[in-house]
Amino acid sequence: MAKMAEGFKTRLAPEDEYPHDPGEAKNYNESMYFNVFDPAKNTGGWFRIGNRPNENYAEISVCLYLPDGRVAFTFGRPAIEGNREMAAGGLRIEVVEPFKRLKVSFSGKALLLARPHEMADPKKAYRENPSVPCTVELDYEGVSPMYGGETVKADGSSLDIDPEKSFAKAHYEQHCAAKGVVTVGDERFEISGFGLRDKSWGPRHWQAIDWYRWCPMNFGRDFGMMLSVIGDGKGGARQGGMVFRDGIYDLIEECVIDTDWDANGYQTALRARVKTVAGKSYEVTGKVVSLIPLRNRRKTPDGQELQTRITEGMTEYRCGDLVGYGLSEYLDQIVDGAPSGRTAGY
């Protein structure tokens, strides 16, 4: 883990794999996320469930990138009661062995998009594209140590957090291997690949972060990265992440990402320069294979309309002679029609 400021420490326990007491914050969100990419079949996907028990619903997303460029996608806000399990709307996440083995399953409908960019207008996309039966059955195996946890005071007590300005009070990640089967309509895809999973809990508004660039990737079972650049809301950025190699995480202290954009302002390629705490340097290039734009909208108590755009790109990465796959996830607040990160020069 990164060096903590004096008076603070990071706490993570096996029971954190299970739902927590949500407390009283209305916008409490307990989220589990998984991705996987099969390097041999040019197929991948990601899955997320975020319980909002104090608002009596969950956010669920299933996104599958198919070999020919199509994307199967579903999103929902099914009703839930309490925060007892990570299961809603046909999506279920089961902890078989904390930090080591988990299962992701889904059964429901998915929108099949031949032109994934159409999701920029969800109503139109759902009106003009077919919804088909979709199933997911994937077994996940942790191949790395855990990264992250909950930052607490030195005596173990929780930090004081303003729920209206929070994105999460705790967060951890882990590189994984995964295998199983997904079906889209009458098509069946056997998946065997690598990915990254994360979990977070605490109050969350998607608008609490100005912008970020999040790039998880794997080059095999024993080499992966997670690159993170987060806007600080003051024109600058916090650079971080980790490199998984030789069975350990080497933390990133410098990460510079240069991005190529299309006419819609979506990422098409990137170049990253990385330096780690251990003194290692890496250069990574990424080419976006398939991308779907998503959004989150919220109205503030004073009536202001806020819109967050998240572009999810399945990305082919290269590091030296190695070729791997992962995601480039770019989050921006849309202000006067423009993404906040690009406005800030990122």
Q: Which one of 159, 180, 204 terminates a domain?
A: 204
Query: Considering 204, 223, 240, which residue would you say is the last residue of a domain?
Result: 204
Give dist(CA 327, CA 346) in Å, integer.
Answer: 17
Phi, psi at 299, each rounded to 5°:
-105, 125
Nearest Cα neighbor of 95 from 139, 134, 60, 137 is 139
Residues 253, 276, 327: CA angle, nearest 5 degrees:
80
Strand 131-142 to 101-113 pairing: antiparallel
Q: What is the CATH number of the domain that holds 338?
A: 2.40.370
Residue 126, SS3? helix
Element housing 191 (H / E): strand 187-203
When divided into structural domains, the chain yields a total of: 2
Indicate if 41 and 176 belong to the same structural domain.
yes
Are residue 171 and residue 57 in the same domain, yes or no?
Answer: yes
- Strands 8-11 vs 305-319: parallel, antiparallel or unpaired: unpaired
What is the domain range of residue 88? Answer: 25-204
Measure the CA–CA gap between 224 and 30, rounded to whole angstroms: 26
- Is 17 a member of any domain? no
Whether residue 240 sits in one domain with residue 165: no
Same domain, 48 and 184: yes
Query: What pLDDT, on the 0 to 100 scale, is given for residue 232?
Result: 86
Residues 196 and 288 in one domain: no
Whose structure tokens read 């999460």? Answer: 168
Of the residues 183, 204, 225, which one is the last residue of a structural domain?
204
Tens-binned pLDDT, residue by residue, of the chain (346 aa): 444 556 667 899 999 999 999 999 999 999 999 999 999 999 999 999 999 999 999 999 999 999 999 999 999 999 999 999 999 999 999 999 999 999 999 999 999 999 999 999 999 999 999 999 999 999 999 999 999 998 776 666 665 655 555 446 799 999 999 999 999 999 999 999 999 999 999 986 767 788 999 999 999 999 999 999 999 888 889 999 999 999 999 999 999 999 999 999 999 999 999 999 999 999 999 999 999 999 888 777 787 788 899 999 999 999 999 999 999 999 999 888 888 888 777 8
